Amino acid sequence: MLEIYNSLTRQKEIFKPLHEGHVGMYVCGPTVYGDAHLGHARPAITFDVLYRYLQHLGYKVRYVRNITDVGHLEHDADEGEDKIAKKARLEQLEPMEVVQYYTNRYHRDMAALNVLPPSIEPHASGHIIEQIAFVQKILDKGYAYVSNGSVYMDVEKYAKDYPYGKLSGRNLNDIVTETRELDGQAEKKHSYDFALWKKASPEHIMHWPSPWSEGFPGWHMECSTMGTKYLGEQFDIHGGGLDLIFPHHEAEIAQSCAALGKESVHYWMHNNMITIAGKKMGKSYNNFITLEQFFAGNHELLSKPFGPMVIRFFILQAHYRSTVDFSSEALEAAEKGLQRLQEAYSRLLKLQPSAKTSVEIGEIRTCCQEAMDDDLNTPFVIAALFDSAKAINIVHDGKGTISEADLNELRDVWKTYAIDILGLRLEEQGAGDEKLKAFSGAIDLLLGIRLQAKQNKDWGTSDKIRNELTALGFQIKDTKDGFEWSI
């Protein structure tokens, strides 16, 4: 029986869906104003494994993962301009071009990580009418107020009728002291009131008409609205990163209770965060490494390129509720581990059966299943696979035998758990990684020769390499320490 940790009750609970055989699952998706980085990979992979496992258990799953594409001042209060609008202004694009560009790139990165597409991927900008209706419901119930064209949640009023702060374990006093959101303070009754609808300032280019003003919905509104639109007023699972618990998910709970008079979500699940060399990822540390940079190896914190399966394996080696500290050394270790699994799997596919089994294969299927049932304990599944890799290698080396039945069982367990549930591409990736490595190495070598030529003022050679690589579709950028390239 599947047990999952519910962040709301702070304990593991036996998973029981609201409707037999069906699971409704909502996960907060990306804000599309930049490339996906390691921080995006973790929730995507965590909930991809849950999605895959629920389907393996026989559930029909409706998985909704949204695209946040509406400007939200709350995201960037210090700069006073929403990030999509800012990007559009700087690059002279229509905001929806920015949204489409980064959505496409997000999809490309997710496909590389073997993250399955969700059943529905709604855009916040496509659900403005529904969001306005949701805000109106909260106003009608008396838990919100209009101020200067914006609508705010009346948190104090709400907190008299419902426990506000129960997901994050905060009370209103804690929230007052930690609220940093300066925007709109003068319009609000209390600093902890959050925007359901914001009147757009003149420089805010993404805005829509509403009964209150020309403006845009508050960030938390889209998930309440789209979650209930596609999964019903009550649904099973809501996931996201731990950093979303407050204010985002706390606000979602308040919005649902205020509008619908009940909680929408049965199980709240949160993946823990990734640190980079012990530090939080953040602008001030300049340590946001995009997935594309991982795949190409062009970031100063990376010793070399790392394939998408190495990233996926690295993330799954830790339990989703533990922190993961990224370093190039840790990724190199993950890469070696993945290669051992890949080698064992290709050996497994080639093994010849004997009359009986002499190696210890243990209860691998039970181990994997129990580990997954225990709140998605992927590191235990990986450990069980490594254990059986030992037996595979013994048979491969001719020091043991395996019967046909055991061989088929082993092949089926690896296919089910390593490939279908953990989503590791074990077959093709090994060779691909090697090719990618050789290819990247060759380009680096060429550009190194070009750098040398430039230093020697041999412009003919330097230009020839640049022009021909450019003609082949490479983008080459000179930097102060050398060069960067991409395709």
**Residues lying near Zn ion in the complex (CB under 5 A):** 28, 223
Which 3 state secondary structure label does DSSP give 126? helix
Minimum distance between the CB of residue 26 and Zn ion, rounded to whole angstroms?
8
Cα–Cα distance for residue pair 175/218, rounded to 1 Å: 18
Which 3 state secondary structure label does DSSP give 176? helix
Q: Which residues pair with 74 in a beta bridge?
A: none
Q: Which residues pair with 11 in a beta bridge?
A: 6
Q: Phi/psi of residue 295, each to 5°?
A: -65, -30
Minimum distance between the CB of residue 190 and Zn ion, rounded to whole angstroms?
23
Q: C-alpha dihedral over 309, 311, 314, 316, to 10 degrees?
A: -70
Pairing of strands 279-280, 274-276: antiparallel
Question: Where in 161-226 does DSSP place strands (E)?
Answer: 195-199, 215-217
Minimum distance between the CB of residue 261 and Zn ion, rounded to whole angstroms?
21
Minimum distance between the CB of residue 331 and Zn ion, rounded to whole angstroms?
29
Q: Residue 480's CB: how many other CB atoms inside 10 A?
A: 4
Expressed in angstroms, the distance from the first to the final Cα of the chain is 47
Minimum distance between the CB of residue 248 and Zn ion, rounded to whole angstroms?
5
Minimum distance between the CB of residue 256 and Zn ion, rounded to whole angstroms?
12
Place of tokens 């279908």: 420
Q: Give whichever of 6 and 31 is closer to Zn ion, judged by the CB atom.
A: 31
Q: Which residues pair with 195 in a beta bridge?
A: 152
Report yes or no: 255 and 143 within 8 Å, Cβ to Cβ. no
Cα–Cα distance for residue pair 6/355, rounded to 1 Å: 48
Minimum distance between the CB of residue 287 and Zn ion, rounded to whole angstroms?
24
Q: Give whichever of 240 and 430 is closer to Zn ion, judged by the CB atom.
A: 240
Q: Which residues contact 102 (CB under 8 A, 6 or more apart)?
A: 30, 32, 33, 34, 35
Q: Give whichever of 23 and 28 is closer to Zn ion, judged by the CB atom.
A: 28
Minimum distance between the CB of residue 265 and Zn ion, rounded to whole angstroms?
11
Q: Give whichever of 249 and 396 is closer to Zn ion, judged by the CB atom.
A: 249
Q: Residue 85's CB: how many other CB atoms inside 10 A?
A: 21
Cα–Cα distance for residue pair 252/245, rounded to 1 Å: 10
Q: Which residues pair with 144 in a beta bridge?
A: 153
Q: Give whichever of 227 and 430 is closer to Zn ion, judged by the CB atom.
A: 227
Q: Give whichever of 2 and 206 is closer to Zn ion, judged by the CB atom.
A: 206
Which 3 state secondary structure label does DSSP give 482? strand
Minimum distance between the CB of residue 40 and Zn ion, rounded to whole angstroms?
14
Cα–Cα distance for residue pair 170/163, rounded to 1 Å: 10
Place of tokens 């059986």: 388
Q: Give whichever of 56 and 166 is closer to Zn ion, judged by the CB atom.
A: 166
Minimum distance between the CB of residue 59 and Zn ion, rounded to whole angstroms?
23
Kind and range of the H or E element at 328? helix 328-350
Pairing of strands 482-486, 475-479: antiparallel
Minimum distance between the CB of residue 64 and Zn ion, rounded to whole angstroms?
10
Report yes or no: 485 and 475 within 8 Å, Cβ to Cβ. yes
Q: Give whichever of 221 and 309 is closer to Zn ion, judged by the CB atom.
A: 221
Secondary structure tally for the chain: helices H, strands E? 16, 15
Cα–Cα distance for residue pair 195/198, rounded to 1 Å: 6
Q: Give whichever of 28 and 309 is closer to Zn ion, judged by the CB atom.
A: 28
Q: Give whichever of 226 and 389 is closer to Zn ion, judged by the CB atom.
A: 226
Place of tokens 């929403």: 82
Q: Give whichever of 224 and 388 is closer to Zn ion, judged by the CB atom.
A: 224
Q: Which residues contact 276 (CB under 8 A, 6 or more apart)?
A: 38, 285, 287, 289, 301, 325, 326, 327
Q: What amino acid occupies position 219?
A: W
Q: Give whichever of 28 and 289 is closer to Zn ion, judged by the CB atom.
A: 28
Q: Give whichever of 38 and 70 is closer to Zn ion, judged by the CB atom.
A: 70
Minimum distance between the CB of residue 28 and Zn ion, rounded to whole angstroms?
3
Minimum distance between the CB of residue 27 and Zn ion, rounded to whole angstroms?
8
